Each structure stands twice: as C-alpha cells, then as structure tokens.
Structure 1
Amino acid sequence: MDSKGPWLYAQAGPSVDMTRSTEEDSLVDGPLISADVLHSAIRREFQTVPTPCHATLLSLLHIVYVVLSICVSVLCVLKFGQEDVCVRILGHVQGDSVIVFGKVVLWMLVVLFTGCVQHHHNRARSRGYLLFYRETQGLKHLPLITHSGGNVLLLALLAARLPQDIHIYILLSVLGLELMVALSCLLYYTVKVMQFNKERAAPDVSQEELTHTYSITSLPTETGFRGGSSLEEVVEKQADLIEYLKQHNTLLSKRLLNLTAQH
C-alpha cells in the first residue's frame, strides 16, 4: 500500500501542474490592455469642481448687499429727504437694524457656501487630487473668517452706542473693508479652482508614476518623507494616499473588466 503512494503522487502531480499551467497560459494569452488605454479611460473620469459659480454668485450678492446698505444709510438713517419712502418700504423698522438683519442673512449664505465648497473639495480629495486639496485648504475658509470678523466689529459698534452720524459712518466703513477683503479672497479662490478645472490633470499618484525615475540620484516625491516635513504631515499624506489607492484599485478593476469584455 505504501509503494503505491509515490506512484499515485507522481501520476497526479504532472496533471495538477498541467492544469495550473494551462490556466496561467490562458490568462497570459488573453487580450492584453495597454497602459495608454487604461490611462485614457481613467482620464475621462475627471470631474470639475463647480464652486467658481457659487463664489461668483456670492460675490454679486455681497456687492448688492453693500450697495443697498449704503442706500438705506443715506436715505433712511441720515434722512436726506426720503423719509416717506423709507417709512413706506421699511415700516417702523430702523434703517441700521435692516442693515444688521441683512448682514446676518449674508453670513448664513457664506456658511452655506463654505459647506458646499468643503463637500466638493472632499470629493476631489477622494479622487486623488491631494495637492489641490491642501493648496486650497485654508483659502476656502477665508470668506467665512472675514465675515465672522465683520460681525464681531458690528457687535462692538452696536455696544459702543456712538452718535448716529458717527455710528453709520463707521458701520459703512466696516462693510466696505469687509467687502474688499472677502472679494479678494473669493477672486483668488475662483482663479485657483478655474486653473485646476482647465488643466484636467490626472490624480497626483498617476502624475508621480509618469514622472518618476528609478535612478539612485532621483529626488524623493511628495508621497515620501522629506527632511523639512513634520511627522504629522507625512502620516496625513500617507493616509490620504491609502484612501485614494483603494478607490483607484476599484476603478481599475471595473475598467479592466469592461475593456476585456470589449476586446
């Protein structure tokens, strides 16, 4: 019984190897997909960030608010001969109170804009555009910080209880300064995002794969550790890359199945 064991094993071994090699040969002999085809297929997945439209709309609303605030201040607070019109439009509400109520509404719109921007930037980050996310990480919060700072100044002005003329002039000065700073931030942000949408670049990892050289003298890429980088920054970058690569592999698997079926 023991003498038959090696004979059976020797007989079964080649058949198993033959089956395995046949399966591997069938995979190798299948249609090969070039890297260019895969890269072009993935490149079509680029999605633009639509926030420049939101930033433009918010800028226009801010300009309209400041212009209306100036009109209300001149006509209804300083009372340059239009008291009847103000009473007919505003009723018994004070002109400066209307300006403050409008400022609250504008601040709420800025909060909604910041949340919308954060949502679209998180989606761009999940698609592998880590550098764009980091470059605009602080920029997208500047409008909200500016408007929140303007609200603090208005609260301090209301608490000061200055004479009406001085009060309204300082109020308009705060609104004008806030408008200049907020518009500058939104304009710079819009230019950055429009440049990103125009370039339609591949994700950061794909760009590094295309430009990477395997020579010893090559410099380390952004995904590695640099002398000037802190440990927290490196860990955060690696976590972003791991999250992206998981989704990237899923997309590659789907593209491979679709392209294999077409060929």
Structure 2
Amino acid sequence: MNFRDESFMPDDDRAPVLAAGPETHFKPIKTIPVFSLHLLISTIISFTGIVLAMILPESKRCEAYFIMLYLRALFWLITLMIDHIVKHMHEKSRLSGYIDFHKATAMHRSVPFYIVTLWNNVIIVIQTLTQHYYGDNFTSHCIQGFLSPIAYITLFNVVETFFLFIVVGSYIARVYKFNNSGLPPDALNGNFNDNIGSVGVLHPHAHLVELIEKQADLISYLKDHNTNLNQKLIQLSTDLNILRGEMINREAE
C-alpha cells in the first residue's frame, strides 16, 4: 500500500503550505481604542475651553487663554505619540501579510496628526499677530467678550474636534470592517496574482514601482513564514527524537 497516496493523506497534509500553522491566523488591528482615546482627549480639551470661557471672570480670561495654549501643546505631543503607536500597529499588520490594507489606510491614519499640527500652526500665527499688533495692550484685549483670545481658541478646538470625529470615525469604521472580515493575508487570498506572476512577470499596464513594492513585501512575508516553518520543523524533529528515545528505553526495559 502506498501511504503517500493522497486518498490516505489527512486533509491538513493536502492544504497549502502557506495556510499551515497559527501564524497565518487573522490578527486584528487594535487601533480603534487608541484613536477613540484621541477623540476623547480632544473633546475634553474643547469642553475645558468652553467651561473656562463661561465661568471665569473677565480678569481671568488671559489665564484661561494660556491654559488652553498649554493644553494645545500637550495635545500635539499626545497626537504625535498616538501617530507612532498606530503606525507601529499597522506595520505589524503589514509584516503579517496584510499589505493592501496597509497601503489603503496609509494616508487616512495620518490625517489626525496633520489636522492637529495644522491647527496648532494656525494658532501660533494668530498668537504672533496679536502679540505683534497689540503689544503691551494684549492683556486688555483678553477680556473683550466673544472676540477674546479664549473664545477664538475654544472655537478653533471645537472645529478641530468636529473634523477629527469625521476623519477618525471613518477610519474606525474601516478598521472595524477589516477586523470583522477575518481575511487571510494577501499572499493567501490571491491579491498578488492580479499584477505579479510567480517569477515576477510584469503585465503590460502594470505600474513598475507598485509591482516592485508588492514583490518586496511578498518576499518579506514569505521569508518570515519560512522562518516560522523552519522553527516548527526543528521543534517537531526534537520532539520526535525524544519520543524515539523513550520508545527505545521502554523496549530495553
């Protein structure tokens, strides 16, 4: 009897090599809590500005304005850290084989950092202009009702929070859909077959740079997968040798 006959082989043995092992199991991107925290902080800062503008007396409006400036600087640092954390998470997903989703969300996940940076730059420009034109009279303009600095910086923060909710909300919906899909890595679902042949043959209308990037990502993924398979083979070989040794000892006894 031929024990290598496919009819006697387990289903797992006939499965594609790339589909074997737990390392190909779907790994969701856990960026939703991170960006949700970012939205919460932006909302708290906006609410703080509104409260300071409403409850503090006019003599304290300058202090409230400078408190908001400190909060804006802190918020930018938090946004920078969150941007690095999110990029790291997406990079791990890319190394797991989800290259198309990584590229599709590259700009989207960076927009919050750009928005906060742009808003801070605008506020810096306005602060510079007010200091330049008002000079020593800046303190007196802090108490000018609706047009006081605390009012406009609070308004800016509220508008920023509104845009962040739109952008981040869209991103969260996209990641939520991706996490629920449970798709296998691109190398297993055929995404690479549309533009790249098994030996790197280019189709007539393919974009050269994009194809090279995809090939490089695919090679990186296959190398990592090959390393994992080699580690498993070594572990299986070690276990088999141990089992054989135990069987020989039992027979000797």
Alignment of 1:17-32 (within 5 A): none
Name the structure 2 match of 1:244.
221
1:123 to 92, 100, 106: 92
Q: 1:146 aligns with which of 107, 115, 128?
A: 115
Q: TM-score, length-normalised on structure 1?
A: 0.71
Amino acid at match of 1:34: R
Instruction: Write the letter of the residue equivalent to 1:230.
Output: H
Rounded to whole Å, the distance in 1 between the matches of 2:17 and 2:211 is 32
Change beyond 3 A, Cα 1:248–1:36: closer
Q: Which runs of 4+ in 1 moved over 4 A?
A: 25-32, 224-229, 254-262
Question: 1-side partners of 2:18 and 2:213: how far apart?
Answer: 28
> After the TM superposition, which residues 216-235 of structure 1 pair with which residues of structure 2 at under 5 Å, given as runs?
221-223=194-196, 225=202, 229-235=206-212
Q: Say if 2:31 and 2:89, in contact at 8 Å, map to a contact too.
A: yes
Q: Which residue of 2 aligns with 1:47?
A: 27
1:182 paired with 2:151, answer no
Contact kept in structure 2, 1:153 and 1:174, CA below 8 Å? no
Q: Which residue of 1 aligns with 2:103?
A: 134
Report the TM-score when normalising by structure 2: 0.74
- In structure 1, how many angstroms separate the alpha carbons of the residues matched to 2:83 and 2:154? 25
1-structure distance, mates of 2:79, 2:161: 13
Q: Residues 64-118 of structure 1, C-alpha deviation per residue, up to 9 Å, x if partnerless?
A: 1110011112233xx26xx6xx69xxxxx71100000001111111111000001
Give the deviation of 1:245 after TM superposition: 1.3
The residue aligned with 2:47 is: 67
Matches within 5 A, 1:149-160: 149-160=118-129
CA separation in 2, counterparts of 1:73 and 1:228? Answer: 59
**Distance (whole Å) between structure 1 residues aligned to residue 129 and residue 166 of structure 2:** 29
Contact in 1 for aligned 2:24/2:184 (Cα 8 Å): no
The letter of the residue matching 1:67 is F
**Quick one: distance in 2 between partners of 1:228 and 1:158?**
52
CA RMSD between the two structures? 3.3
Counterpart residue type for residue 96 of structure 1: Y
Distance 1:189 1:252 in 2: 34
- The one-letter amino acid of 2:31's match is T
- Give the aligned residue type for 1:221: D
- Structure 1 unaligned blocks of 5 or more: 1-24, 88-92, 213-219
What is the identity percentage for the equivalent residue pairs of Structure 1 and Structure 2?
A: 21
Question: Using the alignment, how far apart are the partners of 1:36 and 1:245 within structure 2?
Answer: 13
